[in-house]
Amino acid sequence: MKRLIFLYLVSAVLLAVSATAENPRDMRFPPLKFEPPEPARFVTDNGIIVYFLEDHQLPVITVEALFKGGSAYDPPDLAGLAEITATVLRTGGAGKRNPEEVDAALDFVGASISSVALNDYLMLDMRALKKDAELGFEVLADLLQRPLMDTAKIALEKSNRQDAIRRQNDEPGGITRRIFYQTVYEGHPYGRFPTLETVGEISRESIIEQHRKYYNPDNCIMAISGDLSPEELKTLLHKYFGQWQRGNMTISALPRAAMNYKPGVYFASKDINQAHIRLGHLGIDNKNPDRFALEVLNFALGGGGFTSRLTGQVRTTAGLAYSVGSYLLNRPLVGSFFAFCQTKAESMSQAIRMMLDIIGKVKDSGITLDEMNMAKESIINSYIFNYATSEQMVNARAFLEFSGFPPDQLKKDLEAYQGVTLEDCNRVASLYLDTAKIALIVTGNKALFDKPLESFGPVTEVSLEIK
């Protein structure tokens, strides 16, 4: 009898073990070991720095070409020049092809080239199937070296840009974003946006000059990945980019951003039933050694989605917003930090008060060890997703050099995140979060707000007049 019971117990225990699924809360895994492939790096005779990662999984190739420059470098009276030049470079015809022929050549084989000007750099992207590699390289090389800058396409692009400016107040999110940057970067190129007038001033000559100044092989870093052998790539580069003349241009450095604005409330009137809110101030540049600790801190504050304080309190507990969080934008000439949310007009002040309290508390008392560990584990465990494909890998490596980082920076980043301590987090919180410097941007309908905006400080009404 006794024995029987014993057996029964054993089998019950075994059953329980085999039938019970593990509780995910208790699961532990060893750190993931991943040695990403190292792209090849070489410099062509005319000075192009090339990064290359061979990958034959899919019959495709990608090229990304980065150039120093960007819209921050626009002359103030020609704001919009870098963007318009980038677009017309792509749309204005090149080499032996008029604009329509360039479009047709790429579209026919499902290849694409895009060209954009961002604040701090210029970038072209090319994607094509392996069988169309020659065509892709040929068109890309023509665009960079022999753009036609068709007059009619310039006129169309200028007119389209002006129309886009006329439409810039259609969406409250766009208004709020624009006013935030115009405010915290007052007097700095990062805070400048094209106007009807500056776009109107842009001439074909200024576009050609912009192209001549920036789009040069010795100002270019290329990231190439895909279904090519090193020999095939070298042949293509030699054939299409071998004759590209050096520019030998010096691009003068821009000043760093400094605080010129008055902290306080900036309000834009729009007849909507939500308040769009963005509040923050200047932040740190992209090489500041404190950026790792600040990233970890920001993750816990509002960057880490549902695990962050802002989402937990404003969304999950109070149900005040669908989208809420904070962002740390580290840029070469001083970045910015901001928190954001959109809430029904009737809970505007409740949401802002909550956000300011959360930021103030983190500044004063820092974060907890659990919050820091969550942030660090997440950043470290998900790091691989930034470099999961060859294209991401090679682009990331090229961008490191472009931004002036050492080649092993990716590894150093990981080590730096691992090394962040709670003391670091709390030190950077009190150093960089500054509630006294906050510019609070609100877009919405004043009449619906739960409390006057004045309760958050002096209010400046920002005109939405289109100039």
Partner 1 sequence: MKKRMIINWLMAWALMATGAAAQTEMQIPVQQFSLDNGLTFLVVERPTAPVFSGYICVSVGSAHEINGNIGTAHLLEHMMFKGSQNIGTTDYESEKVLMAKEDSVWAKIDEARRQLPYLKINYPDKVAEQEKYIESLQMILDSLAEASSQYVVQNEFDGIYTRHGAAEFNASTGYDHTNYYVSLPSNRLELWFAMESDRLKNPAFREFFTERSVVSEERRLSVENNPDTKLYEQVIGTAYMAHPYKIFWEWQSEVNNLTRQDLENFFRKYYIPQEMTVAIVGNVKLAEVKRLAEKYFGDIPRGTLPEPIYTEEPPQTGERRIDVNYESSPALYIAFHKTAFDSPEEPVFQIIQRLLGDGRTSRLYKALVLDKQTCLDISVGEFPGGELGSEDPGLFLIFAYPKEGVSTAEVEKGVYEELEKLAATPVDEKELTKIKNRIDADFIWGLQSNIGLAGRLASTHLQAQDWQYLLSFRDKLKQVTADDIMATAKKYLIKENRTVATLIPKISGEGK
Asked whether the beta carbons of 106 and 139 are under 8 A apart, the reply is yes
Determine, following the binding rule CB under 8 A, whether residue 466 of this chain makes contact with partner 1. Answer: no
Nearest-angstrom CA–CA distance, 134 and 137 = 5
Asked whether the beta carbons of 304 and 326 are under 8 A apart, the reply is no
Asked whether the beta carbons of 61 and 127 are under 8 A apart, the reply is yes
Determine, following the binding rule CB under 8 A, whether residue 16 of this chain makes contact with partner 1. Answer: no
Nearest to 281 by CA among 404, 436, 118: 436
For 21, 51, 412, the CA distances from 406, given in Å and listed in that order, are: 46, 14, 9
Number of residues located near partner 1, criterion CB under 8 A: 79
Asked whether the beta carbons of 99 and 154 are under 8 A apart, the reply is no
Q: Which stretch binds partner 1 (CB under 8 A): 217-225, 378-386, 394-402, 431-439?
A: 378-386
* CB closer to partner 1, 168 vs 403: 168
CB of 340 to partner 1, least distance (A): 12
* CB closer to partner 1, 16 vs 253: 16
Determine, following the binding rule CB under 8 A, whether residue 25 of this chain makes contact with partner 1. Answer: yes
CB of 59 to partner 1, least distance (A): 4
Task: Write out the H or E segment, with its range, that includes residue 352.
Answer: helix 348-365
Determine, following the binding rule CB under 8 A, whether residue 21 of this chain makes contact with partner 1. Answer: yes
Question: For partner 1, which residue of 40, 116, 129, 448 counts as binding (CB under 8 A)?
Answer: 129
Determine, following the binding rule CB under 8 A, whether residue 320 of this chain makes contact with partner 1. Answer: yes
CB of 172 to partner 1, least distance (A): 6
Determine, following the binding rule CB under 8 A, whether residue 17 of this chain makes contact with partner 1. Answer: no
* CB closer to partner 1, 357 vs 370: 370
Question: Tokens at residue 14, please?
Answer: 């075994």
Nearest-angstrom CA–CA distance, 56 and 228 = 7
Determine, following the binding rule CB under 8 A, whether residue 312 of this chain makes contact with partner 1. Answer: yes
Q: Which stretch binds partner 1 (CB under 8 A): 76-84, 185-193, 307-315, 429-437?
A: 307-315
Give the contact letters, 343-362, x = binds to partner 1 (CB under 8 A), - = no.
xx------------------
SS3 57: coil
Residue with tokens 């901001």: 338
Question: For partner 1, which residue of 183, 219, 298, 311 counts as binding (CB under 8 A)?
Answer: 311
Question: For partner 1, which residue of 11, 245, 260, 316 counts as binding (CB under 8 A)?
Answer: 316
For 86, 193, 212, 301, 316, the CA distances from 205, given in Å and listed in that order, are: 14, 21, 10, 48, 55
Determine, following the binding rule CB under 8 A, whether residue 384 of this chain makes contact with partner 1. Answer: yes
Q: Which stretch binds partner 1 (CB under 8 A): 152-160, 200-208, 250-258, 449-457?
A: 152-160
CB of 383 to partner 1, least distance (A): 8
Fill in the amino acid letter for 308: S
Determine, following the binding rule CB under 8 A, whether residue 335 of this chain makes contact with partner 1. Answer: no
User: According to CB under 8 A, which residues from 48 to 107 bind partner 1?
Assistant: 56-60, 91, 100, 103-104, 107
User: According to CB under 8 A, which residues from 252 to 271 bind partner 1?
Assistant: 269-271
Which residues does 115 contact at the CB level (< 8 Å), separation at least 6? 86, 87, 89, 90, 122, 123, 124, 125, 143
Residue with tokens 């000075």: 47
* CB closer to partner 1, 159 vs 430: 159
Nearest-angstrom CA–CA distance, 283 and 285 = 7
Q: Which stretch binds partner 1 (CB under 8 A): 166-174, 246-254, 282-290, 413-421?
A: 166-174
* CB closer to partner 1, 11 vs 112: 112
Determine, following the binding rule CB under 8 A, whether residue 216 of this chain makes contact with partner 1. Answer: no
Determine, following the binding rule CB under 8 A, whether residue 130 of this chain makes contact with partner 1. Answer: yes
* CB closer to partner 1, 154 vs 321: 321
Q: Give Cα 61 to chain centroid, integer Å.
A: 23
Hey, which residues does 53 pair with through a beta bridge? 225
For 31, 124, 138, the CA distances from 118, given in Å and listed in that order, are: 36, 11, 25
Determine, following the binding rule CB under 8 A, whether residue 131 of this chain makes contact with partner 1. Answer: yes
Question: Tokens at residue 360, please?
Answer: 């103030």
Determine, following the binding rule CB under 8 A, whether residue 418 of this chain makes contact with partner 1. Answer: no
Fill in the amino acid letter for 303: G
Nearest-angstrom CA–CA distance, 211 and 216 = 8
User: According to CB under 8 A, which residues from 286 to 305 bind partner 1?
Assistant: 304-305
Nearest-angstrom CA–CA distance, 68 and 451 = 47
Determine, following the binding rule CB under 8 A, whether residue 160 of this chain makes contact with partner 1. Answer: yes
Q: Which stretch binds partner 1 (CB under 8 A): 63-71, 211-219, 377-385, 433-441?
A: 377-385
Determine, following the binding rule CB under 8 A, whether residue 10 of this chain makes contact with partner 1. Answer: no
Q: Which stretch binds partner 1 (CB under 8 A): 250-258, 336-344, 434-442, 455-463?
A: 336-344
Question: For partner 1, which residue of 38, 108, 187, 411 counts as binding (CB under 8 A)?
Answer: 108
Nearest-angstrom CA–CA distance, 183 and 260 = 8
Nearest to 68 by CA among 249, 290, 255, 265: 249
Question: For partner 1, which residue of 381, 421, 430, 455 counts as binding (CB under 8 A)?
Answer: 381
